[in-house]
Chain A
Amino acid sequence: GQSLEQPSEVTAVEGAIVQINCTYQTSGFYGLSWYQQHDGGAPTFLSYNALDGLEETGRFSSFLSRSDSYGYLLLQELQMKDSASYFCAVREYGNKLVFGAGTILRVKS
């Protein structure tokens, strides 16, 4: 079967760095995506890793280790607007996305 594990909730202060981990068990793995979703809004694409290593996009970075079936999203210089849900999603054959349950990030001032 397919399963993704990520923490249900993380709290951090403004300006800090936070890491959201994701472990997965799935067949037909092509890569790991990260999406951000504000309450009631559309999931917004943040990052994608097909190969091992770190991808950096501004304040956000994402890491993948295929041998460990593990990835993480790193958010730096946290801002209040970063308070949202963050989803890891495995890209399977045919570009189908299998989502984790999501991590609620609360940023405090």
Chain B
Amino acid sequence: DSGVTQTPKHLITATGQRVTLRCSPRSGDLSVYWYQQSLDQGLQFLIQYYNGEERAKGNILERFSAQQFPDLHSELNLSSLELGDSALYFCASSGNKREASDTQYFGPGTRLTVL
């Protein structure tokens, strides 16, 4: 158990809908990262937040957005869903001041199925 939690574990929805994925980082971690894993694209970095501020952006679609709240949990919002958005979405966290390294620890993921 990495200490990173994600909800829900599974999500099934229809095209055109909007969903919100939630992530709670490890205690003390300030950074949250979102990754998408699909069969054809592998593990792709989407976006990073550090202490509430956006730090880096990857291959994130305009239909997707994220935020990190004052309690450091993060949400990834996916809208106008398409079949191709079906994937595993992982959240990772790092940046614990008690640790020397900046290793990213991954949550269990949310499996999104768009029908």
- Check A41 against B108 for contact (C-beta < 8 Å): yes
A94 touches B56 (CB 8 A): yes
Q: Cβ of A99: which chain B residues have Cβ within 8 Å of it?
A: 42-45
CB neighbors of B among A59-89 (8 A): 87, 89
- Say whether A101 contacts B48, CB under 8 Å: no
* Chain A residue contacts of B101, Cβ below 8 A: 48
A98 and B106: CB pair below 8 A?
Answer: no
Task: Select B56's contact among A96, A100, A101, beta carbons within 8 Å.
Answer: A96
Decide if B2 is an interface residue (CB 8 Å cutoff): yes
Interface residues on A, range: 20 to 34
Cβ contacts B55-79/A at 8 Å (1 or 0 each): 1101000000000000000000000
In the complex, how many residues of chain B place their beta carbon closer than 8 angstroms to a beta carbon of chain A? 26
Instruction: Name which residue of chain A comes closest to B41, CB basis.
Output: A101
Are A98 and B2 closer than 8 Å at their CB atoms?
no
With the chains together, A87 CA to B44 CA distance in Å? Answer: 12
B94 vs chain A, min Cβ distance (A): 6
**A95, CB-defined interface residue at 8 Å:** yes
B42/A48 in contact, CB under 8 A: no
Interface hits, A90-109 → B, CB 8 Å: 91, 94-102
Q: Which residues of A contact B (CB under 8 A)?
A: 33, 35, 40-45, 48, 87, 89, 91, 94-102
What 15 additional pairs, Cβ within 8 angstroms, besides A87-B43, A102-B43? A33-B103, A40-B111, A42-B106, A42-B107, A43-B90, A91-B102, A94-B48, A95-B33, A95-B48, A95-B102, A95-B104, A97-B33, A97-B45, A99-B43, A99-B44
